[in-house]
Amino acid sequence: MTLERIEHRACFGGWQDVYEHASDTLGCTMRFAVYLPPQAATPGATLPVLYWLSGLTCTEQNFITKAGAQRYAAEHGVVVVAPDTSPRGDEVPDADGYDLGKGAGFYLNATQAPWSTHYRMHDYVVDELPALVESAFAVDDRRAISGHSMGGHGALVLALRNPGRYRSVSAFAPIVAPSQVPWGEKAFTAYLGDDREAWRAWDACALVAGAAERLPLLVDQGEGDEFVDSQLRPGLLQAACAEAGHPLTLRLQPGYDHSYYFMASFLGEHMAHHARALQA
Amino acid sequence: MTLERIEHRACFGGWQDVYEHASDTLGCTMRFAVYLPPQAATPGATLPVLYWLSGLTCTEQNFITKAGAQRYAAEHGVVVVAPDTSPRGDEVPDADGYDLGKGAGFYLNATQAPWSTHYRMHDYVVDELPALVESAFAVDDRRAISGHSMGGHGALVLALRNPGRYRSVSAFAPIVAPSQVPWGEKAFTAYLGDDREAWRAWDACALVAGAAERLPLLVDQGEGDEFVDSQLRPGLLQAACAEAGHPLTLRLQPGYDHSYYFMASFLGEHMAHHARALQA
């Protein structure tokens, strides 16, 4: 696979880069961002990787320009990889609205036409992208995963579906029960069809019951989040984890909304959480 | 004066707000951002204020979404105020191009038609805005100033023109000698007219010679900045300060460009510099 570097910017002693490549999994050209901290320049060193999954409407740019992650990544010596949120390009089907199609891949493998050809973000993020990153950069197979909103859903689901794949997982304002909220119902109906039984494989609240690994979940949720009651519903995850005996740290943060101002405020604690697990 | 709060977001234990108000100085409606750190909630406390001046094309939004300043402001207990970069509104004259007119006020008082009615950003930032801020929030008259690119020019010029007004000043990749570079020559010709003698009152390199106060200048400049040789020319400030005996710390940062990735990387050190001066 050929990687083309299209951005290269010094940042906190390391480099904030963006790469473009042809994705076999998605059948289109994709971009991803990678922050290489100063420790990446040490000859012979290999670093662990945090994968960051962004929310609806985002590209690989939002997180790297607005979250302030590079400072923490430089402190901890962690590489941060932020993929795009869906397949891209003229050949990729799209829909009206911000919550389906491009920018709204929901980190699943679609089974329904016209989506099933390109919308395979689960396999891209879990398999193709790490294989690419681990072959191109001085990183090893220590992986962590986190994300925001739709990307928080993605982080939880990918960790729960793939035991042993990630050493730690966290989420900011995740869609914890997509099968039960409007964003998820719209996307799952389109990507997965009408059979709600098939949705359970992509729903964190459904997955915790059968999780083969008790990887602790760290979740921050703003209490002032405009989507908390309609789309996010952290109480459903709390109940599912209590029932399954799955370890969960759910922190409700008074006053905080759904924005990057919320996420930036607690990202340092999440980065420390991941660094501890990655470097244990 | 009436302040209308149009954004209010919890951030690092404080609040990132945006206000709108009618400006007498500029003759239009203006917006500014203010970050109130957690210490602002202490009854009876008054905090110092850092004024941040942004560069060409920016509004009050760029700095608050991309620089990561709130974390440092919360650590140090400093309020951060970020105004817009020019007068705004349908009644305000504009020009083609990004480097004159709206988004390009250059922090001066224009003397030439059609600009002189509204383009009075010096007086707005030095007088009207602090009066407003100091009457509306729990802050006192301890003030610092910093900025980026055109805003770095603004920070240096406002500090040099107004001895005693600011306790500290710093700049990222500032236009240090606008009289001698294309961005400045275009703007000064339009705003101030053809008499280059009148330009000296708005040019940091010209002002250091006669500065009534030896306020130390802290300047960071990326060596990989695409504008360093054509528009920024830090060597001219170094020479002017050496000749005048004006204290300057100029740090050339290898590899860094003109972007927020550069600024974010060194903002923590600038915030610590200002906090020391503000709290001395």
Out of A86, A149, A168, A179, pick the active-site residue: A149
How many C-beta neighbours within 10 Å does residue A203 have?
Answer: 25
**Among chain A residues, CA nearest to B72:** A265
How far lies B88's CA from each of B20, B66, B107, B116, B150, in Å?
11, 22, 14, 14, 17
Answer whether B10 sits within 8 Å of A262, measured CB to CB: yes
- Banded pLDDT at B40 (limits 50, 70, 90): very high
- Digit-coded pLDDT (tens) for B141-169: 999 999 999 999 999 999 999 999 999 99
User: How far A162 CA sits from the closest chain B CA (Å)?
Assistant: 33
On whether the CB atoms of residues B217 and B242 are closer than 8 A, the answer is no
On whether the CB atoms of residues B124 and B21 are closer than 8 A, the answer is no
By CB atoms closer than 10 A (0-12, 13-18, 19+), residue B151 is: buried
Closest CA to B148 of B156, B140, B159, B138: B156
By CB atoms closer than 10 A (0-12, 13-18, 19+), residue B197 is: exposed
Q: Token match 């009651």: residue?
A: A229
- Digit-coded pLDDT (tens) for B9-18: 999 999 999 9
By CB atoms closer than 10 A (0-12, 13-18, 19+), residue B243 is: exposed
**Among chain A residues, CA nearest to B255:** A10
> What residues of chain A, 68 to 97, have a C-beta less than 8 Å from chain B?
68, 70-71
A213 three-class SS: coil
Closest CA to B168 of B207, B225, B218: B218
Q: CATH number for the domain including A190?
A: 3.40.50.1820
Domain range for A22 is 4-278
Is B149 among the residues known to form the active site?
yes
**Among chain B residues, CA nearest to A11:** B261
- Digit-coded pLDDT (tens) for A23-81: 999 999 999 999 999 999 999 999 999 999 999 999 999 999 999 999 999 999 999 99
**What tokens does A221 get?**
């949720």
User: How far A265 CA sits from the closest chain B CA (Å)?
Assistant: 5
Q: Token match 């789309």: residue?
A: A231
User: How many Cβ contacts (< 8 angstroms) between chains A and B?
Assistant: 65
Q: Which residues of chain B form beta strands (DSSP E)?
A: 3-11, 14-23, 28-36, 47-53, 79-83, 139-147, 168-172, 217-222, 248-253
- Digit-coded pLDDT (tens) for B65-85: 999 999 999 999 999 999 999
- Banded pLDDT at A1 (limits 50, 70, 90): low
Is A258 among the residues known to form the active site?
yes
Total domains, chain B: 1
User: How far A183 CA sits from the closest chain B CA (Å)?
Assistant: 24
Prediction ipTM score: 0.95
Which residues touch B235 (CB under 8 Å, ≥6 apart)? none
Q: Is A266 on the interface with B (CB under 8 A)?
A: no
CA angle A119, A125, A128 (to 5 degrees): 95
Out of B225, B246, B270, B274, pick the active-site residue: B225
Q: Is B9 on the interface with A (CB under 8 A)?
A: yes
- Radius of gyration of the CA atoms of chain B, in A: 17
**What tokens does B10 get?**
């919890």
